[in-house]
Amino acid sequence: MMLLLFSCNDGPNLVLQELKKENGSQKSQTIAYRLEGDTVVFYFDVTEYNFYHKTFDGKHCFHDFWGDYMDLQHLVYGKFIFDKDEVDIETVHLLGDFNFWTEPGWKMDKVRDGYYQLKVHKKDLNNKYGAEFTFLINNTFVVFSDIAENAIHALPFSVLVLELPNVVDRPELGYKLSDSTVTFYFDKDDYVSTTDKDNGIKAFLDTMNIETVDIAGEFNAWEREPMFRQPDGTYTFTKPLSAIQNTEFKFRVNGENWVEPPFYVSNAIGTPYHFRFYNSKNFLFRSERELVQQGYYKEGRNVVFRCDLNKFTDIIPLEWSHVYVTNIYVKTVCLVGDISDWKVGNMEMEEVAEGVYEYAIPIEQFEVGKSYEFLFMINGMFFVKVPTKTANITKGYLWKDRGMFSFSLTLDDQSFSQVN
């Protein structure tokens, strides 16, 4: 099926403006907890949430009507969304990694109407990095926040993140390197949550009932391959480094549940492969071998930005799930980034060969030593995903909310004086 959406000059600036608001003043509060010495004070303040989502089976905060839920015509108050003023709060419980997302969770103390709290010692979090958590209202509703800086949208509810301060040794997880091989490994003790059966809904990882573990990633075109159980209970899958250099990957348990990287690992990369608003993440392995500069080259007194859709085949829409270039009709390709103040439509690229688009900017428009982020957009709605083997990659403008890398460009004095 071919999709034809917007041109570069239609509408998408509104979406980018919303992202700017989320990165700026609107989404700037860390809510739901505060630190007092060795104690974490979790608090539920009804004024910090817009509405609640109803759970349907009373387990792990997910429901059985995902098809209806994703149909925006069914997102109506009184069915899946309930205004906070319509809910008479009787009890509030704390659910999270620390109690294995097991309902009803830990009961919170009522301080006053609409305000509950619970004090937890840091050691009871069982994780030096912090925890993911949410609140369960009346054993029926879970909260949703669109203002919290520490909120991860994980439909049908919000997961809130508590990150303990002064933690710098954030590990990479999921693989080990030797001189000639990379061994992907899965240790059940490293994980708490999964996404349930491709639905993108957070669920507790039942470590007592793991029968099989598969791995899939860019290196095998996301075709699942079985991992091998070791005597210590871990699962491994080894490849020679000559066969795999840089890749995203993910584990799948019992053939149906994707395992989510913990919030604290340094090699988690966001990817909206599943559903709108759901911050699903993959693991990232980068060997630093065979990395190549991509996205631009210098020609004379110009920087020429180059988008080759024959190579950049993976794209991510602003508002929906992951697709490939081959699934859409390409009408326009635009350059967006710091050089355009992230405005869409000002820099429409020219097709210079089949699937190859370029846009030249005089080198004098750049500052020496300044780093510029940029991305390419198709039809004003699709971000071209930066390949993992790109050397000039950066966690920038869209990293926090989307987990997306950008291309980067930095010109030095030699670049300004050199004429190619």
**Residue 234, CA distances (Å) to 210, 211, 229, 230, 403 in order:** 11, 12, 6, 5, 28
**pLDDT for the residue 6:** 36
Q: What are the boundaries of each domain within the chain?
A: 31-163, 175-286, 296-417
161 has pLDDT over 60: yes
366 has pLDDT over 70: yes
Range with the largest mean pLDDT of 7-21, 91-105, 319-333: 91-105
406 has pLDDT over 80: yes
Mean pLDDT of 151-167: 72
Higher pLDDT, 115 or 272: 115
Three-state SS letters, 329-387: CCCCEEEEEHHHCCCCCCCECEEEECCEEEEEEEHHHCCCCCEEEEEEEECCCEEECCC
Indicate the fold that domain 296-417 takes in CATH: Immunoglobulin-like (2.60.40)
Task: Please check whether residue 349 is in contact with residue 335, taking contact to mean a CB–CB distance below 8 angstroms.
Answer: yes
78 has pLDDT over 60: no
pLDDT cut 90: percent of the chain above it: 32
Helix (H, G, I), strand (E, B) or coil at 392: coil
Measured from the Cβ of residue 300, the count of other Cβ atoms closer than 10 Å reads 11
pLDDT digits (tens, 9 = 90+) for 286-313: 876 667 899 999 998 899 999 999 888 7
**pLDDT for the residue 306:** 96
**pLDDT for the residue 113:** 93
Measured CA to CA, the distance from residue 256 to residue 25 in angstroms comes to 39
**pLDDT for the residue 83:** 72
**pLDDT for the residue 391:** 86
**pLDDT for the residue 203:** 67
Measured CA to CA, the distance from residue 284 to residue 269 in angstroms comes to 6
The average confidence (pLDDT) of the chain is 77
Measured distance between the N- and C-terminal CA atoms of the chain, rounded to whole angstroms: 43
Question: Residue 364: left (phi > 0), alpha (psi -120 to 50), or beta?
Answer: alpha
Range with the largest mean pLDDT of 18-27, 50-59, 156-165, 381-390: 381-390
Residue 406, H or E segment = strand 405-410
**pLDDT for the residue 389:** 80
The lowest-confidence range among 27-31, 220-224, 315-319 is 315-319
State the DSSP code for 174.
Answer: S
Q: Where are the beta strands (DSSP E) in 192-324?
A: 193-195, 202-204, 213-217, 225-226, 228-229, 235-240, 246-253, 257-259, 268-270, 281-286, 296-299, 302-308, 314-317, 323-324
Which residues partner with 106 through β-bridges?
94
What does CATH list as the number for 31-163? 2.60.40.10
Measured CA to CA, the distance from residue 175 to residue 37 in angstroms comes to 35
Higher pLDDT, 3 or 47: 47
Higher pLDDT, 200 or 212: 212
**Residue 396, CA distances (Å) to 80, 373, 393, 408 in order:** 34, 7, 9, 9
Tokens of residue 167, six digits: 């933690």
**pLDDT for the residue 72:** 36
Distance of CA 314 to the CA centre of its chain: 16
Which CATH architecture describes the domain 175-286?
A: Sandwich (2.60)
Tokens of residue 203, six digits: 């669920």
179 has pLDDT over 50: yes
**Residue 414, CA distances (Å) to 77, 263, 303, 390 in order:** 60, 40, 14, 22
| One-letter identity of residue 343 | K
Which residues partner with 407 through β-bridges?
374, 393
Higher pLDDT, 381 or 353: 353
Measured CA to CA, the distance from residue 15 to residue 123 in angstroms comes to 41
335 has pLDDT over 50: yes
Higher pLDDT, 62 or 219: 219
Mean pLDDT of 149-171: 74
**pLDDT for the residue 402:** 62
- pTM comes to 0.66
Identical fold for domains 175-286 and 296-417, yes or no, is yes
DSSP 300-339: TTEEEEEEETTT--EEEESSS--EEGGGB----EEEEEGG
**pLDDT for the residue 232:** 93
Measured CA to CA, the distance from residue 332 to residue 298 in angstroms comes to 23
**pLDDT for the residue 154:** 52
pLDDT digits (tens, 9 = 90+) for 26-72: 445 889 999 999 999 999 999 888 767 655 443 333 333 333 333 33
Backbone angles phi, psi at 92, to 5 degrees: -130, 130
198 exposure class (CB count in 10 Å sphere: 0-12, 13-18, 19+): middle
